[in-house]
């Protein structure tokens, strides 16, 4: 490849998209030929994740990408995601809400672009196109409720885990609790904006941590501590506005997160109607819907008790319906 050519300046996402369009194939056709999900191809093309080693040979073969072209595009991709000149934090590991990321002057799109790579680091069964919803819509949901979307950032620039606690309507809460698939249709309009006196119900949209060599980069106790820290801050923030959390419904899609959720006081309600995961022996099974009722667990579960203690708040007026 000519180092001065326009093609040599393409990132990997741009190169994949260009070659696919030159061949006249759709994302669905490319996904079928490379043996990945359409969602994975979407992430490659929008820069949210890079092809895994096991997919690279097939991808280059299908699209006719030379080794030189691929290597050049990889270098351009690395250059495009260099750390901010002013890093998010000088601390090695920090949990930040989207609101805090924005307050520090960091472009949220640079954070969002890393989320696909975190998700793709987990082995997941392929699912029908758009069953988990559009990434852009999920980004818009985060922007509509920036205090309830969290990122664990290492070294000031690398997202190693993320999770969301979305305030939602009672009707949507009941659908999720019954195992219905709402991820493909949920949008910013479904996020409620709590007002003083509200007792809110939250949707915990899973917890993903970056994995390398089949192991989580950040170990479970530390991730759990950071989740507790962010939940404590959220409780404190809402308490100042006379807003309390009544209960949390969660969609858990890895055995590790299910185990962690049970430790935190969640109990299983049902299985999801369509989403699946791999269990510890790589058998495909349904993902699970769990629920945490704050009033029930406040005195029973040390995790919940410590969160409220750290927030300096005593539970008031929250009872199980």
Highest mean pLDDT (candidates 105-114, 162-171, 229-238, 281-290): 162-171
Mean pLDDT over the full length of the chain: 80
Which has the higher per-residue pLDDT, 12 or 8? 12
Range 115-141 average pLDDT = 72
User: Of 36-45, 200-209, 214-223, 299-308, which one has max mean pLDDT?
Assistant: 200-209
State whether 177 and 242 are in the same domain: yes
Residue 266 covered by a domain = yes
- What percent of the chain clears pLDDT 90, i.e. is strictly above it? 31
Same domain, 139 and 280: yes
Is the pLDDT confidence value at 318 over 50? no
- For residues 192, 194, 195, 201, the Cα torsion angle rounded to the nearest 10 degrees is 110
Structure-token pair, residue 239: 């308490």
Domain assignment of residue 85, yes or no: no
Which pLDDT does position 67 carry in this prediction? Answer: 81
pLDDT of 82 higher than 50:
no
Is 105 found in the same domain as 64? no
Q: What per-residue confidence (pLDDT) applies to 131?
A: 57
39: which 2 tokens? 């969602």
pLDDT of residue 91: 40
Same domain flag for 65 and 133? no
Residues 59 and 172 in one domain: no
- The CATH number of residue 51's host domain is 1.10.260.40
Residue 4, pLDDT score: 41
Q: What is the pLDDT of residues 248-263, one digit of tens each?
A: 999 988 887 888 888 8
Last residue of a domain, one of 80, 103, 123: 80
Query: Can you give the CATH number for the domain in which 172 is found?
Result: 3.40.630.30
In a domain, 265, yes or no: yes
Asked if 100 contacts 90 with a C-beta cutoff of 8 angstroms, the reply is no
pLDDT, residue 2, reads 42
- Shared domain check, 55 and 117: no
> Same domain for 40 and 109?
no
In this predicted structure, what is the pLDDT of residue 174? 96
Where in the sequence is the domain holding 281, given as residue range(s)?
93-311
- For residues 290-318, give the mean pLDDT: 76
Residue 86 in any domain: the answer is no
User: pLDDT by residue (tens digit) across 138-193?
Assistant: 888 999 999 999 998 877 778 888 899 999 999 999 999 999 999 888 899 999 99
Q: What angle do CA 31, 34, 35 make, to 5 degrees?
A: 75
The answer on 253 and 144 residing in a single domain is yes
Total domain count, the chain? 2
Q: Is the pTM of this model over 0.75?
A: no
């Amino acid at each position: 490849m000519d180092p001065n050519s326009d093609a040599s300046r393409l990132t990997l996402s741009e190169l994949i998209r260009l070659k696919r369009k030159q061949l006249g194939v759709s994302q669905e056709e490319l996904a079928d030929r490379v043996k990945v999900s359409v969602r994975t191809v979407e992430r490659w093309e929008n820069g949210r994740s890079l092809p895994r080693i096991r997919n690279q040979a097939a991808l280059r073969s299908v699209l006719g990408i030379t080794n030189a072209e691929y290597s050049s595009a990889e270098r351009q991709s690395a250059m495009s995601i260099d750390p901010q000149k002013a890093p998010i934090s000088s601390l090695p590991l920090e949990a930040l809400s989207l609101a805090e990321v924005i307050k520090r002057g960091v472009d949220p799109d640079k954070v969002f672009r890393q989320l696909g790579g975190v998700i793709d680091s987990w082995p997941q069964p392929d699912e029908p196109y758009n069953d988990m919803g559009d990434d852009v819509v999920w980004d818009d949901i985060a922007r509509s409720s920036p205090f309830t979307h969290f990122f664990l950032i290492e070294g000031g620039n690398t997202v190693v885990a993320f999770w969301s606690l979305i305030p939602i309507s009672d009707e949507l809460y009941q659908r999720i609790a019954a195992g219905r698939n709402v991820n493909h249709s949920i949008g910013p309009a479904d996020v409620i904006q709590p007002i003083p006196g509200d007792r809110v119900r939250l949707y915990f949209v899973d917890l993903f941590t970056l994995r390398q060599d089949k192991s989580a980069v950040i170990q479970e106790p530390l991730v759990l501590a950071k989740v507790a820290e962010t939940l404590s801050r959220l409780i404190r923030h809402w308490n100042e506005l006379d807003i309390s959390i009544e209960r949390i419904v969660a969609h858990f899609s890895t055995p590790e997160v299910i185990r962690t959720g049970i430790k935190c006081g969640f109990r299983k309600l049902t299985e999801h109607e369509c989403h699946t995961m791999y269990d510890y022996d790589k058998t495909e099974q349904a993902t699970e819907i769990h629920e945490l009722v704050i009033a029930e667990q406040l005195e029973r579960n040390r995790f919940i008790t410590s969160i409220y203690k750290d927030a300096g708040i005593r539970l008031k007026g929250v009872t199980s319906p």
